[in-house]
Amino acid sequence: MRDVTARKQMEQIMARTEQMNMVGQMAASVAHEIRNPLTSVRGYLQLMKIKGESSISQERYDLMISELDRTNAIISEYLSLAKDKIPELKRCCLNDIICAIYPLLQAAAGASNTSIQLFLEDIPEVCLDNNEIRQLIVNLVNNGLQAMSQGGELIIHTYTGQGIVVLAIRDQGSGIPPHILEKLGTPFLTTKKAGTGLGLTMCYRIVQRHNASIRVETSNSGTSFLIEFAPACP
């Protein structure tokens, strides 16, 4: 029974990895084709705004530029799925990254009438890509906040266990159904009406690029995502 379970888990991991690779290849291709014309359009809009060559109001220029920037940000999210993306790993403390983005996370929690608590223990440095880890934390926190009702509390906890640095993000939602749990990380899997189904896929990809591991513990009283990082590189 244990052998069958282990084999099934390995097959699921391999299938998910293959799907992420396919999406990554597609994302790199689509991003390349779309980003270039977007960059050109943005440049022309900025030039027209400076020279005042049109009767279009400054507010509309700003709106068009902001929409282009938003589109470019979405493309960047897709591009982060690319298989050949190389993280810029540097020795740093995970706690410092969390503290740097904490005001942003608090603002998101306030908007949904929830709260976030930090429990950051003394932990050794590990090798991380600052931007990718920020994206990982923001994605997991946003998912957790959206899973909770008003008044819920999300906890971000860092600690060490057997020489491994652990990032734990725990929400007080209703838990993840079994049929969704076994497919977590699968591209385009979402239960949100306006979701792309790529947020957790990106998280799994980032964890993979850091040679880390991710575990999920869930029940009807909440869900915990635990990311385990190896000791720092020399």
From 54, 79, 104, the end of a domain falls on 79
Q: Which two tokens stand for residue 197?
A: 């189904």
* Pairwise CA distance, residues 212 & 204, whole Å: 10
Q: Which two tokens stand for residue 157?
A: 């906890």
Residue 84 in any domain: the answer is: no
| Together in a domain, 30 and 115 | no
Instruction: Say which CATH number the domain at 190 has.
Output: 3.30.565.10
| Together in a domain, 74 and 120 | no
CA 212 to chain centre: 15
How does pLDDT run across 102-132, given as a tens digit for each residue? 998 998 899 889 999 999 999 999 999 998 8
Exposure b/e, 21-47, CB count within 10 A at least 16 = b: eebbeebbeebeeeeeeeeeebeebee
Domain that holds residue 193: 90-229
Q: What is the pLDDT of residue 150?
A: 92
Determine how many CB atoms are found less than 10 A away from the CB of residue 176. Answer: 18
How does pLDDT run across 152-162, given as a tens digit for each residue? 999 999 999 88
Structure-token match 């084999």, residue found: 7
